[in-house]
């Protein structure tokens, strides 16, 4: 995240911006809420005539898009400008047709954050993995999406190990 963006990166701003973002808006995706600490996000996918497939159910690409940037944006809000956060891999398992509006909840736990901080403290990369269950209006799971992210401190924030540190550690 750029330094100027970090200054204005607030949950309400991110929610409004994403709800106006053409890929979300056009797909019928709406961010319902983002917690003040970026640890919880609720998203809804409306069923509209233009995002139905040939079977008159939710288009799979829209279901997949529903989960696309959310964990990355959450981690950017939590970790701030010192870290790169990127999507790395994703897969989707379609379980049943989406015949109504669809919903997804995204939650970051303190344990997940502790693991990321621990893995990146010395400049190493972290590849946290998340599973999102997209549900219909009845609460039934419609699809399961697995996402892997790439997280690493930017070079200027990485701890630099010098020779004196190495001597102290070896003794």
86 has which bridge partners? 150
For 4-168, CATH gives 3.10.129.10
The structural domains of the chain, with segments of one domain joined by +, span 4-168
Check: pTM over 0.95? Answer yes or no: no
The structure tokens listed for 25 are 């808006």
The CA-based angle 84-107-100, given to 5 degrees, is 115
Q: How far apart are the C-alpha atoms of 70 and 87, rounded to whole Å?
A: 10
Give pLDDT tens digits for 6-30.
677 889 999 999 999 998 988 899 9
Q: How far apart are the C-alpha atoms of 160 and 61, rounded to whole Å?
A: 43
Q: How far apart are the C-alpha atoms of 22 and 11, rounded to whole Å?
A: 19
Instruction: Give the model's confidence band at 52: pLDDT under 50 very low, under 70 low, under 90 confident, else very high.
Output: confident
Q: How far apart are the C-alpha atoms of 123 and 117, rounded to whole Å?
A: 10
């Amino acid at each position: 995240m750029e330094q100027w963006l970090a200054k204005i990166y607030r949950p309400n701003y991110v929610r409004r911006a994403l709800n106006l973002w053409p890929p979300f808006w056009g797909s019928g995706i709406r961010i319902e809420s983002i917690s003040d600490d970026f640890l919880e996000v609720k998203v809804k996918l409306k069923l509209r005539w233009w995002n139905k497939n040939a079977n008159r159910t939710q288009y799979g690409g829209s279901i997949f898009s529903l989960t696309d940037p959310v964990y990355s944006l959450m981690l950017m809000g939590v970790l701030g400008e010192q870290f790169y956060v990127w999507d790395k891999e994703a897969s989707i398992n379609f379980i049943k047709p989406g015949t109504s509006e669809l919903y997804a909840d995204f939650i970051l736990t303190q344990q997940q954050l502790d693991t990321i901080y621990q893995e990146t403290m010395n400049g190493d990369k972290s590849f946290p993995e998340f599973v999102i269950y997209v549900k219909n209006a009845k609460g039934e799971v419609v699809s399961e999406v697995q996402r892997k992210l790439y997280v690493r401190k930017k070079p200027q924030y990485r701890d630099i190990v010098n020779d004196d540190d190495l001597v102290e550690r070896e003794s």
